[in-house]
Structure 1
Amino acid sequence: MMSMRELSMKERLFHAITFEVTALALIIPISALVTGQGTGDLAMIGIGLSLFAVAWNYLYNVLFDRVFGTNRLARTVSLRLLHTTGFEGGLVFISIPVIAWVLDVSMWDALILEAGFLTFFFIYTTLFNWGYDRIQPYQRWIERMAK
């Protein structure tokens, strides 16, 4: 497998969707346990914000690769943390008002809940992307399909 390549549009979509589906499978039950909110409301928030996040993920990663290059395996820990911080920061501006509205809580309560989400996603995003770059599941899938 090549270590220095640009991701195709199909692979970027695969990456974004895999990221979001895995995150939802983890965060919805965890959030329900921690907050006492219903999984239905949390799933609605999660799915809505995930749809936004998929679009944001695609756009953000295209721009990030243009600025920092496409050799994803050579990225340092500090560059990965910068990547994660920028990505999650963009989501915060949308998610807090949505959480407050759907759960009928104050902006402060939504901010506290978002802080929990940010903590989870900061760690999850860094580990997911690092693992994705090492494992390259899309490339492995394409190679298996070609055999």
Structure 2
Amino acid sequence: MSFKERIFHAILFEVFAVLLTVLLMAYFTDHSTALLSGTIIAISLIAMLWNMVFNWVFDKFHTGPREKRSLLTRVLHVVLFEGGLLIATIPLVAFVLNVSLWEAFVMDIAMTIFITVYSFIYNYLYDQIRARLIAKYKLHLA
């Protein structure tokens, strides 16, 4: 994946993640959507940077076609990514939403579970669609 595509991949991921997470958090908490939006956007910015760095490093260790990654590799990818993100975001959630570290941990775990499932589905679909577009593009060039 090129640097430009990594940026596209990360931005598209985060746009959908922010929208879905704010809607779910607003439904399950008493916090305003404005405060939740700011918090989720801050987390999103951290996640985008982490996404680019983490995936660059992950791809250095796991070479080969992305669309052929095994289920185990995809699960490992998501767990490592989300674990690293939790370390950075729990203090942020506690501070911005004015909750205890425990409450922030519980909220962050809930968001992480949601985002983990979302991430798995998003990346699987992205890789499959990307592979088809590349194959279609190569077919038209031939």
Question: TM-score, structure 1 length as denominator?
Answer: 0.88
Structure 1 unaligned runs (5+)?
A: 1-6
Displaced runs of 4 or more, over 3 A: none
Sequence identity (%): 38
Matched residue count: 136
- 1:45 maps to which of 23, 28, 39: 39
Q: Deviations over 1:104-126 (max 9, x none)?
A: 00001001101110110110111
Matches of residues 48-87 of structure 1 in structure 2 within 5 Å?
48-87=42-81
Q: Residue 24 of structure 2 aligns with which residue?
A: 30
* Paired position in structure 1 for 2:86: 92
Shift of 1:72: 0.4
- 1:4 counterpart residue number: none
Partners of 1:127 and 1:38 lie apart in 2 by 28
**TM-score, normalised on structure 2?**
0.90
1:119 aligns with 2:90: no
Counterpart secondary structure, 1:136:
helix
Aligned-residue offset at 1:70: 3.8
Q: Calculate the aligned-residue CA RMSD, in Å.
A: 1.8
Of structures 1 and 2, the one scoring higher in RCO (CA 8 A, sep 6+) is: 1
